[in-house]
Structure 1
Amino acid sequence: MRLVATMLLWLVTTLLLAVAVPAMWAQRNVVSEDGYAAFSASAAEDPQLQSAMAAELASQIISFAADNGYTLDREMVRRGTVAYTGSAGFPGQFGQANRIAHRWMFTDSVQREAGTDRWFIDIAPMLNDPSIGALLGEIDLDVPQTLTVPITVPETTGLHPGRLRQVSTWGPWITVGTTILTGVFALLTLAASRSRGKALAALGVSALLVGAAGWAGLEVARGYVNDALNRTTGDIRVIADVVVGHAEDSLHRWFNLTLAAGAALVVFGVLVALLGGLRRRDA
């Protein structure tokens, strides 16, 4: 009976850990607005994203100028935007600009501000950077406080403002709850087991299973993500692809840490079990 209880507790611990690890990553990097801004800023250090963003900014500047009756030299503008996206200040401003995309998904405030269901990123903070502002200042063009660029449309993605509002509400509770429950059930597994060493090794196996399952899940999810990315085009498609790739790399690191912790726990558990066996034999 004790063995059955231990196995059941171990299984529940494994399932909870499988929820807790990606939930902690998502809460830190996606659900949290500040976390998402920091995550976007780190993705903006990628040269491929910088190149695509330079092209997108150049197009938006030329279009903005044309709407105000000015014709700009594309090559001159592109040189300016390339210099800007390669600067040390760009990643932070890209992260701040992505806040509107986060609010679009996790609140309904952007719908009221923009009056539309399309998904936008606000590039006004970037155009107001001194290096970009110098280009526009030469022709006396003032950038508005908000200048949004559409990313996707709900007809093809099923997304709409505030779609993940419940996630932002319940996500932190789920993350904290599953993390605490994982620790509680791990301790219960240790308490119920006749051998602490074997129980520790079994918990290490749990972490190994979760890490391996995470890697496999990412491979499966990539196909669905690619389908969603294919609904965007041009430079925005490249930018989105880099951000998604950055998310995958980050998740891989989390799962690698889970695997490493699991392996360490297995080794520690085996050592504890061996030492316990030696003590019993000497006694």
Structure 2
Amino acid sequence: MRFVMTLFLWVLTTILVAVAVPSAWVQKNIIDPQGYSSFAESAATDPQLQQAVAGELTTQVQSLAAQNGSQVEPRRIRAVANAYTAGSAFPRQFALANQVAHTWMFTNRLSRSEDGSWVIDLAPMLSDPSFAETLSGFGVEVPQTLTVPIASSAPDSLRPGILRPLAVWGPWVSVAVAVLAGVFALLTLAVARARGKALAALGISGLLVGAAGWAGLEAGRRYLNEALNHTSGDIRQMADAMVGHAIDSLHQWLNLTLAAGGGLVLFGIVVAVLGGLRRRSD
């Protein structure tokens, strides 16, 4: 009966850890506004994303110039855009540009374009001094906001504030699941007859969660690609880079889970061996 209870608690602990790791990552990097800004700022160091943003900025500058009846040199604008996205100011301003998209998804505030589409705001980047001098020379004035749609053919289910429940309940859920995982892990140790074996079993839980997470990400790439098909051009390249950065970040969390699981397995084995030696000496 004690073994059955231990097994039951171990299974629950494994399930809770499997939920706790991704939910904590999502809360920290996606749901939390400051966390998402930091995530976007980190992603902006990717050369693929920098080139994509430079291309989109060049396109928007040409569009603004056409609206104002001005003539611009595309090569010169692209050179300035490349230098800007490779500079130190770009990551922070890219994070600011993404705040509009985050607000659109996670709140019901009207931080969006007039037609309610899902957008990012490129005005903070074009207002950078490295651009301002060049644009003023061409007679191009940057508006206070310059929103660009992220998805050209977004599904009907994608609407403003669709993820607001996650913003409301996400912090509570991630904390609650992590606490429950810890509680059930302690209960597993308390009920188990052999503490060393129980520690090793909890380590195996970490190994299972880490391995399952890697497998799940690989299996989910197809669905991610289908979602990205709603974007195109430079925006698609930006989305690809952001998704790639997210996967790499989650891989790091899963690697830490694997490392923690492996450490617990080794510690459990040591505890079990020492316990066996002590019982023999008694």
- TM class by shorter chain equals over 0.9
Q: Counterparts of 1:10-29 in structure 2 under 5 Å?
A: 10-29=10-29
For residues 212 and 110 of structure 1, the distance between their equivalents in structure 2, rounded to whole angstroms, comes to 41
For residues 153 and 182 of structure 1, the distance between their equivalents in structure 2, rounded to whole angstroms, comes to 41
Residue identity in the other structure for 2:32: S
- CA apart distance, 1:116: 2.2
Q: Is the 8 A contact 2:207 2:257 kept in 1?
A: yes
Q: Is the 8 A contact 2:31 2:170 kept in 1?
A: yes
Q: Partner residue of 2:173?
A: 174
For residues 186 and 269 of structure 2, the distance between their equivalents in structure 1, rounded to whole angstroms, comes to 18
Q: Partner residue of 2:56?
A: 56
Q: Partner residue of 1:97?
A: 97
Q: Partner residue of 1:37?
A: 37
- CA apart distance, 1:135: 1.5
- CA apart distance, 1:251: 0.6
SS in structure 2 of the partner of residue 114 of structure 1: coil
The TM-score normalised by the length of structure 2 is 0.97
For residues 153 and 192 of structure 2, the distance between their equivalents in structure 1, rounded to whole angstroms, comes to 52
Q: Counterparts of 1:73-88 in structure 2 under 5 Å?
A: 73-88=73-88
Q: Counterparts of 1:208-247 in structure 2 under 5 Å?
A: 208-247=207-246
Q: Partner residue of 1:66?
A: 66
- CA apart distance, 1:236: 0.6
Distance 1:95 1:279, change over 3 A: same
Q: Partner residue of 2:248?
A: 249
For residues 193 and 115 of structure 2, the distance between their equivalents in structure 1, rounded to whole angstroms, comes to 62
The alignment status of 1:3 with 2:3, answered yes or no, reads yes
Q: Partner residue of 1:260?
A: 259
Residue identity in the other structure for 1:7: L
SS in structure 2 of the partner of residue 109 of structure 1: coil
- CA apart distance, 1:110: 3.6
How many residues end up aligned between the 2 structures? 282
Which stretch shows the higher mean deviation, 98-107 or 68-77? 68-77
SS in structure 2 of the partner of residue 264 of structure 1: helix
- CA apart distance, 1:41: 0.9
For residues 178 and 120 of structure 1, the distance between their equivalents in structure 2, rounded to whole angstroms, comes to 33
Q: Percent identity?
A: 56
The alignment status of 1:275 with 2:274, answered yes or no, reads yes
- CA apart distance, 1:69: 1.6
Distance 1:231 1:158, change over 3 A: same
Q: Is the 8 A contact 2:202 2:261 kept in 1?
A: yes
For residues 109 and 134 of structure 2, the distance between their equivalents in structure 1, rounded to whole angstroms, comes to 32
For residues 190 and 87 of structure 1, the distance between their equivalents in structure 2, rounded to whole angstroms, comes to 52
- CA apart distance, 1:5: 0.7
Q: Partner residue of 1:152?
A: 151
Q: Is the 8 A contact 2:64 2:140 kept in 1?
A: no
For residues 114 and 230 of structure 1, the distance between their equivalents in structure 2, rounded to whole angstroms, comes to 22
Residue identity in the other structure for 2:251: H
SS in structure 1 of the partner of residue 38 of structure 2: helix
Which stretch shows the higher mean deviation, 154-163 or 130-139? 154-163
- How large is the Cα RMSD of the aligned pairs? 1.2
- CA apart distance, 1:128: 0.5
Residue identity in the other structure for 2:106: F
